[in-house]
Structure 1
Amino acid sequence: MSWGNPQTSREKLLYGLISPLSLGYGIGSYFRLAAYSKGYMKRVRLPVPVISIGNITCGGTGKTPMAIDITRRLIAAGYKVAVLSRGYARKSKEKITVVSNGQGEFALCEEAGDEPLLIALSVPEAIVIVGSSRAETAAIAIEEYKADAIVLDDGFQHIRLERDLDVVLVDYNDDPENDMLLPAGRLREPLSALNRARVVVITKVPAHPDNERLEKLRAQIRNHAERAEIAEARFVPKRLRTNNGAAPLEQLKGQRVVAFCGVARPEGFAATLNQLGCTVVHLKSFSDHHWYTPDELKMLEKLMRESNASAVVTTEKDMVKIAPHDRLNQHLISVEIGVEWLGPLPSHISEMMKGKLESELKRGKQDSDSATSPGGESTKDDGSAGKSGSRKKKHKPK
């Protein structure tokens, strides 16, 4: 069954039975948003720029690779970035966990959650914090770690925290006009919620897209988000990761492999493996954010041996959950995914980066001008005061 698009008589019957629940879900969403817009529920404004990466459907649009891409770009522009995530499906009951302090110290996957840890490992210079209250985690990021930019991972529905830029992802393969709200469909909010977005990115655009389909999707977005900038992107394999480090994509070509994943849309992973030219003899799909048991890992290793496969291949998100000492790890390969923008970077993002670069250049010139007095004598001290003043309190991941 395509979630929200029933095909068989049984699926249509089930769809009809749970559709009234979608109405209740929609009413609840409306009143929640109205409470914030009318001021009955207070929003929090941060003293630093905030970018939210989100969607209006349940999973699978590519929020994590997009958050990684934008975080890297902001860091390259000079920002000290903190990524805030809810840490969905993590095992820890801690209210707040510092996944990465931006200095190479990382929390365990059970404490962090798979996606936050993947972001932390992919961008080790970023501060990554998980917790249900983004306002609280933002305060830690700014006050303790001196972050000067915040990226909200899956933050579109987190209305309480105000943001300067809402980036919303829409899957090229979706037909949102014919979908329904949860639980009958995949929509987390009505399509009218897109009017809050400043940038809408159509993701997973294939190499040879159906132009009619693409234009129809653009029109649907414009119908609900008149002021939004519409961009397009696809996710492409960049390299492989093994227990011994990085490896070229060509290593998988012609190989027989066993594959597994616990993601929202496993068909995308299957298509990537096909693109890499390997023969998938078995593909095991698990639920999104699945935590693998020892028996499941043994089963995968057994499948590899019995099918005469050369490796077990999985996603980056799944690989972070496999302990380094597990036997499966010596045969395990993950595929690193990156963002390929189909056209210029959205202007709202590039302008934010440009503004920071210009600010840093201006500050550097001012520092240079003030370093020497009119008489030519340096006004700098021996550096000891600067070293003392630059010490920061370390908040190690738990």
Structure 2
Amino acid sequence: MSFLEPGRPARAWLRGPAALYGAAAQLRNWGYDRGWFTAARLPVPVISVGNMTVGGTGKTPVVILLVEWLEAEGRRVAVLSRGYRRSRADERVLVSDGTRLLAGPPEAGDEPVLIARRCPRAVVAVGSDRAALGRWVLDRFSVDCVVLDDGFQHRALHRDLDIVLVDAMDAGGLEAMVPAGRLREPLKGVTRADALVITRADDKQEVQTVRRRLASIHRSEAQPIEAVFRPHCTVSVLADEVRALDTWRGKRAWLVSGIGNSASFNRSVTALGLVVCGAGTFRDHYRYGKHDIERMKAEAKRAGADLVLTTEKDAGKLAPLLVAGDNWWALRIATVVTQGEARLRDLVSRGVEG
């Protein structure tokens, strides 16, 4: 388990380097706040989904939800992403033109490919300079609005709505800057957000801990919005097949995950009534090799697993390494806003209306 995964305590002996990192981040923010640096504007509204910490807070499923809401209103949406840990970091890559998938995880990154698969009508593109990427996309496609994936710290591009996610399972992640902890910038940066969404808000005690921490910084009459990620169905890693969750109740599952919060994935599977007989847990954005697959197949067989269950984000990387007959499935997750949905929908609608 990586130190930077949610749930790990801060390391006190690294608070010196963390203070330097925080000062640099604060100086950059001051530059934008005081007009020393200017943010480029696109000719269409921009909605940003971001977070304060490294590690997974659920940005991808929330981006998917917002795209679905916007498309239901008849809007044509483009999603812009950095494409973390892709093989061509400096190139612009068109992941989807809104009709077909044009790139895979190695070229585009894990999350953009998943977004393109789940939102087949959206234009999805990746590039390190999101302002230039946005202009490049708008020159080629007629879109009404842009959703910026992981954009809170990318202040070089103006946004009309800033949504910030905070993981209820990771209150400790708000305590210290990288490398001592997981904060990307000082916590008071949340005051720039138009909406705070507490994700993985299943446990009320965890939610209250995060609420108290945020209340000391973000004093607002509006309570943070709450959302949970609930299993929706399972999808074959190898074939275009979907099965209901009840199909697997009581079955023995070996889990495979390389995401920012593997504990959340494991908790979701257990809640479905599957018997978890083992797990292969890897760092976020892990690139699997044939040796990993063969080892996990052997371990799953020894454990008497009926199936191997992975995340939908991992499935795209695993599929090329499997062979016909492998009983590997991906758990599809849906975002459910449990508190403040009407307010979030209103913010999103107003954000794209300008």
TM-score using structure 2 length = 0.91
Let me know the Cα RMSD of the aligned residues: 2.4
1:238 maps to what in 2?
232
Distance in 1 between residues matched to 2:352 and 2:59, nearest whole Å: 24
Deviations 1:240-299 (A, max 9, x none): 001331110012211112111001221111111101111111111101000100110111
Contact 1:254–1:277 (8 Å) recurs in 2: yes
1:253 to 249, 252, 255: 249
Query: Kindly tell me: are residues 189 and 123 of structure 1, through their superposed partners in 2, closer, same or farther at Cα, counting changes over 3 Å?
Result: same
Contact 1:54–1:169 (8 Å) recurs in 2: yes
1:125 aligns with 2:118: no
1:335 maps to what in 2?
331
Deviations 1:341-386 (A, max 9, x none): 11342525325437979x9xxxxxxxxxxxxxxxxxxxxxxxxxxx
1:272 aligns with 2:268: yes
* Structure 1, unpaired ranges of 5+: 360-398
Distance in 2 between residues matched to 1:178 and 1:171, nearest whole Å: 10
2:199 maps to what in 1?
203
Distance in 2 between residues matched to 1:203 and 1:6, nearest whole Å: 17
Offset at 1:205?
Answer: 1.1
1:186 maps to what in 2?
182
Contact 2:152–2:164 (8 Å) recurs in 1: yes
* Structure 2, unpaired ranges of 5+: none
Deviations 1:208-245 (A, max 9, x none): 522xx534532432332335662111100000001331
1:395 maps to what in 2?
none
Distance in 2 between residues matched to 1:94 and 1:44, nearest whole Å: 19
Distance in 1 between residues matched to 2:277 and 2:54, nearest whole Å: 29
- 1:160-179 mapped onto 2 (5 Å cutoff): 160-175=156-171, 179=175
1:85 aligns with 2:81: yes
Give 1 or 2 for the bigger CA radius of gyration: 1
1:105 to 101, 104, 110: 101
1:142 maps to what in 2?
138
Query: Kindly tell me: are residues 229 and 70 of structure 1, through their superposed partners in 2, closer, same or farther at Cα, counting changes over 3 Å?
Result: farther
1:220 aligns with 2:216: no
Contact 2:94–2:126 (8 Å) recurs in 1: yes
Distance in 2 between residues matched to 1:308 and 1:174, nearest whole Å: 33
1:21 maps to what in 2?
17
Distance in 1 between residues matched to 2:197 and 2:120, nearest whole Å: 25
SS across alignment from 1:330: coil
2:111 maps to what in 1?
115
Deviations 1:91-140 (A, max 9, x none): 23451100000012331221111111000000000110001000011112
1:382 maps to what in 2?
none
Distance in 2 between residues matched to 1:155 and 1:355, nearest whole Å: 15
Work out which structure has the larger RCO, using CA pairs closer than 8 Å and 6 or more positions apart in sequence.
Answer: 2
Offset at 1:167?
Answer: 0.5
Contact 1:196–1:225 (8 Å) recurs in 2: no
1:60 maps to what in 2?
56
TM-score using structure 1 length = 0.82
Distance in 1 between residues matched to 2:182 and 2:229, nearest whole Å: 21
Any runs of at least 4 consecutive aligned residues in structure 1 with deviations exceeding 6 A, and if so which?
A: 4-7, 354-357
